Structure 1
Amino acid sequence: MDRSAEFRRWKAQCLSRADLSRKGSVDEDAVEIVQLLNAQEQFFTTSSCAGRILLLDGIVALRKANGDAILKFEPFVLHVQCRQLRDAQILHAVAINSGFRNSGITVGKRGKTILAVRSTHGLEVPLSHNGKLMVTEEYVDFLLNIANQKMEENKKRIERFYSCLQHALKRETITNSQTEIKDPFDTHKKKRNQEKSHYKRITEDCDKELENDDADDPGINVTIFPEDY
């Protein structure tokens, strides 16, 4: 089976499966991105989360906690399987330049190419230890405000990602059309230069929207507990 046919089979299998998440559907803030990607021949999404804040219901609940309570904000995350490495590189450029700077590409032994869209502005702070509250109510309120600010910034980055993705897909369509009609004697070096220019245009389109990105980020990123907490 050729690589393209195998990718189509993987995509059909993945998209036909039932949604096994607790919610049972794609998060509202991520649904447009998921639908846009799944409508393309070269992509399909394998998992997504628009972001969430994990809270305990007030100080009373914290005082009754027997273990180690935390307040945690988890930003947008998206996993996309790509038909080939070049497709993943285009999507990676979109992610990085939309503010998701912890994004990366992995290639498996069977040739599965996965792009993970991630950012670094998470929040994870301990509130109690062995049932003992370790912070004041004022500090909890402060953390909640920070978490809410991070969620708002998270939504802005999702919107930028969607906008940049639309631009990148349009540019890719135009580039592919030009490639089909260009001189067949063009060298490999020229093709590589065109690809570099294409990625640069994606970056420039998105960079204009990111000029104030660092100023908007509240700037608190605390990770205390391991990921399997």
Structure 2
Amino acid sequence: MDRRAEFSRWKAQCLSKADLSRKGSVDEDVAELVQLLNGREQFFTTSSCAGRIILLEASISGFDVQKQNCCWLLVTHKPCIKEDVIVALKKANGDTVLKFEPLVLHVQCRQLQDAQILAVRSTHGLEVPLCHKGKLMVTEEYIDFLLKIANQKMEENKKRIERFYNCLQHALEREAITNSHPKGKVNEKNNSYSRRKKRNREKARGKCITEENDKELEKDDPDISVLIFPEDY
């Protein structure tokens, strides 16, 4: 069996399995993105999260919370209010941490060049300890302040998902056009100038899209590193 057929078989097998996430379904804000990827033969998603605010209870080692060995006191994919956090904290007996986690998308790709299209990294998160051994270490006013930040990050995260979707869709459309029009050797000399001019325009356009996307994201997060299109894409 060749690699293409093997990948297709593996994709069909994985997508036919039941959703084992806590929620049991794809988050609404990322459903269109997941559908776009799974609709292409070179990709399939294995897990996803549109972004969430969570309150975890676990032992803390250097502020590193291991989610596999903790209790989820609160989880929401929507804006959160202070009262919900205060109620959840009353259940805590150990150390608790409030976290905001942005979009997470795990994708299997058929080959390296497909994976390069999806290469995106971000530090758009939040993680703050609130309790130690069941004792609240901060004021309710501070919790309200943290939630305003977390909710702002949630809204920004939605905008980033939309921008990523649009950039990805554009990249895949360009790839499809390129694959459907392979380079030929007929009239190579006569057409070399027009092709070179076209490539320069496309390269400039791609660079502009990437740079604009980078700048827009970096306004809110100076530590972000983004690569939507490879340099020679």
| Normalised TM-score (structure 1) | 0.72
Question: Which residue of the other structure, out of 126, 133, 139, is the alignment partner of 1:130?
Answer: 133
Supply the distance in 2 between the matched residues of 1:75 and 1:40 (Cα, whole angstroms). 24
Aligned to 1:213: 217
Greater gyration radius: 2
The reply on whether 1:165 has 2:192 as its aligned counterpart is no
Aligned to 1:71: 98
Aligned to 1:44: 44
Supply the distance in 2 between the matched residues of 1:68 and 1:196 (Cα, whole angstroms). 56
Supply the distance in 2 between the matched residues of 1:199 and 1:46 (Cα, whole angstroms). 32
Q: Which amino acid aligns with 1:71?
A: L
Supply the distance in 1 between the matched residues of 2:18 and 2:207 (Cα, whole angstroms). 36
Aligned to 2:185: 183
Aligned to 2:147: 144
Question: What does 1:77-156 align with in structure 2 at a 5 Å threshold?
Answer: 77-92=104-119, 96=120, 102=121, 119-156=122-159
Q: Deviations over 1:58-91 (max 9, x none)?
A: 4355356311111111110001111111111122
Q: CA deviation at 1:198?
A: 7.2
Pair 1:88–1:141, CA change in 2 (3 A) = same
| Normalised TM-score (structure 2) | 0.71
Q: CA deviation at 1:39?
A: 0.7
Pair 1:64–1:42, CA change in 2 (3 A) = closer
Unaligned runs of 5+ in 1: 97-101, 103-118, 187-193, 220-229
CA RMSD between the two structures: 2.8
Q: CA deviation at 1:122?
A: 1.2
Pair 1:160–1:50, CA change in 2 (3 A) = same
Pair 1:35–1:153, CA change in 2 (3 A) = same
Q: Which amino acid aligns with 1:53?
A: I
Supply the distance in 2 between the matched residues of 1:197 and 1:77 (Cα, whole angstroms). 33
Q: CA deviation at 1:153?
A: 1.1
Question: Quick one: percent identity of the two aligned structures?
Answer: 71
Q: CA deviation at 1:5?
A: 1.0
